[in-house]
Structure 1
Amino acid sequence: MTDLLPGLGPWLACALAASLGCALQRLAGQGFGMVAAPVMALAAPGFLPGAILLAGLAVGAGSFVADRRAVVLRDLPPGFAGRALGAGIAAWIAARVVGTPALPLVVGGFVWLGVILSVAGLRLAPRAPTLFGAGTVAGVMGTLTGIGAPPMAIVYADVETRRSAATQNVFFAFGMAVSITALAVSGLIGARHLVFAATLLPVVGVTLLGVRPLAGRMARGAIRPWALGLAAAAATVLLLRSLL
């Protein structure tokens, strides 16, 4: 069983990061991967990227079910198509970096890319071409690291909070499923990823229930700086530890 789970300390760190990331994902439509990925890369790198994608699937699906009536259905097909393309590209890359010293650098670099995209102030209207393009970039980022939200967040920056979060959570859940499939086909998801992710599911469930009263009441702007700051700090520590 020791090969299927990290030690208690690393597991607790991952569980805490998963809980915080889950809360941010539920309330704002982004945040799970940006918080959980760098912490997991520091505490339990051997379980990336499979475990975080499996846990992320539960986070996205649970968040979608809670706000499914606010989803903008017409936006889904082009975003889904882009996400599938990006996942295929990322699976090819992952086969070459998973289990190597390059993986923490990839994770840390993508976290910082996500932070930069989130604070750059870019605005793109949610039209078919932009949704496809954002979905493709999100597919690459999300499959490699679990961080696929920032490109889609740019497209939904000016959309009403609840509709934005709900629709992004659909993309997030679909993206996790596609990414998991792509990695499984490439032989990069095994029993250890499944077991570790399963132990995080109760944490995800409790968090989704716990933040439910806050949904619709808390503006994205209130929690966004904290999420980005935590993600940037964790990514910086990860990069420094990998380089020094």
Structure 2
Amino acid sequence: MDINLLIAMLLIFCGSFIQSATGFGLAVVAAPILIHLSPEFIPGPIIIVGLFLGIINSLRYRANISFAGLKHGIMGRIPGTIAGAVLLFYINVAELSLLLGIIVLMAVVISLLPIKLEPTPRRLMIAGFLSGLFGTSSSIGGPPMALLLQHQQAHLIRANMAAFFVAGGIMSLFVQIPIGFMTLHHLYISLPLLPAGYLGYRAAHHFIDRFSQQIVRRMSLVLCTISGSGALFSGVISIWGT
């Protein structure tokens, strides 16, 4: 088996573990490194894995999903997804790496801020738009919504983020088809990643009661800082050298 594929599967396992434990984190952990292994993994194949995780986590937490609360975020995601597709069409790999690094590090900083934003309908629509923009162009669409939902109970965060990822993932994949970022090839290379994603999901729910939410959150922030810094540095070097 190709070493790059093994690394990709390991990254997907780690990202799936974090996402299933906290509500989001798959692309934040995996995308900044995957883009250097093979740019074709970004954004389509990661979104496919995210959609898969969203479905199985939604089924697990279906009793806790609040569709009334999510509808405003989903409404905002629609124009954001279109804007993300336009952005994806015009940027190259180096610029995408730079964008990934900036988004991930911004997510880390925002997560550390001592602020509490109530998820009002207006804020949910704005977060949904940003999620669509960043999720479609870079596969990292979780942080804007997670920021608004982060002070809810853990099972509510997991449930509603999972349902949002299902709706958002379908939208993003749909608009990526006509611009060539979701083809049969992208579907094919995503298939080996799905078992790794499922194992991460299973591991998270096996250990979820053994680690506090705070410990898992700190682990994810460390991983995100490392991967985001690497992507940012690589993007700057690539752009500087052109």
User: Is TM more than 0.5 here?
Assistant: yes
Q: What is the CA distance between 1:145 and its match in structure 2? A: 1.6
Summarize the Cα distance change of 1:187–1:12 in structure 2 as closer, same or farther, 3 Å threshold: same
Give the equivalent residue in structure 1 for 2:164.
171
Q: Does 1:106 align with 2:69?
A: no
Give the equivalent residue in structure 2 for 1:149.
142
Match of 1:118 among 101, 108, 111: 111
Deviations 1:204-236 (A, max 9, x none): 222222322334664432211111111111121
Q: Does 1:140 align with 2:169?
A: no
Kept in 2, the 8 Å contact 1:63–1:166? The answer is: yes
Summarize the Cα distance change of 1:122–1:140 in structure 2 as closer, same or farther, 3 Å threshold: farther
Inter-partner Cα distance in structure 1 for 2:209 and 2:186: 33
Q: What is the CA distance between 1:162 and its match in structure 2? A: 0.7
Match of 2:151 among 149, 154, 158: 158
Give the equivalent residue in structure 2 for 1:9.
3
Inter-partner Cα distance in structure 2 for 1:62 and 1:218: 21
Kept in 2, the 8 Å contact 1:87–1:140? The answer is: yes
Give the equivalent residue in structure 1 for 2:21.
27
Deviations 1:53-96 (A, max 9, x none): 11111111121111111112211211111111211110000000
Q: Does 1:85 align with 2:79?
A: yes
Give the equivalent residue in structure 2 for 1:129.
122
**Partner letter of residue 43 of structure 2?**
P
Summarize the Cα distance change of 1:216–1:141 in structure 2 as closer, same or farther, 3 Å threshold: farther
Summarize the Cα distance change of 1:220–1:148 in structure 2 as closer, same or farther, 3 Å threshold: farther
**Partner letter of residue 10 of structure 1?**
N
Q: What is the CA distance between 1:45 and its match in structure 2? A: 1.6
**Partner letter of residue 32 of structure 1?**
L
Identity of aligned residues (%): 26
Q: Once structures 1 and 2 are overlaid, which stretch shifts more, 102-111 or 81-90?
A: 102-111
Q: Does 1:180 align with 2:161?
A: no
Inter-partner Cα distance in structure 2 for 1:170 and 1:117: 23
Root-mean-square deviation over aligned CA pairs: 1.7
Which runs of no fewer than 5 residues in structure 2 stay unpaired?
A: 238-242
Give the equivalent residue in structure 2 for 1:3.
none
Summarize the Cα distance change of 1:218–1:73 in structure 2 as closer, same or farther, 3 Å threshold: farther
Which runs of no fewer than 5 residues in structure 1 stay unpaired?
A: 1-6
What secondary structure sits across from 2:24 in the alignment?
Answer: coil
Summarize the Cα distance change of 1:124–1:181 in structure 2 as closer, same or farther, 3 Å threshold: same
Inter-partner Cα distance in structure 2 for 1:197 and 1:113: 27
Q: What is the CA distance between 1:191 and its match in structure 2? A: 2.2
Q: What is the CA distance between 1:123 and its match in structure 2? A: 1.8
Inter-partner Cα distance in structure 2 for 1:96 and 1:18: 27
Kept in 2, the 8 Å contact 1:25–1:60? The answer is: no
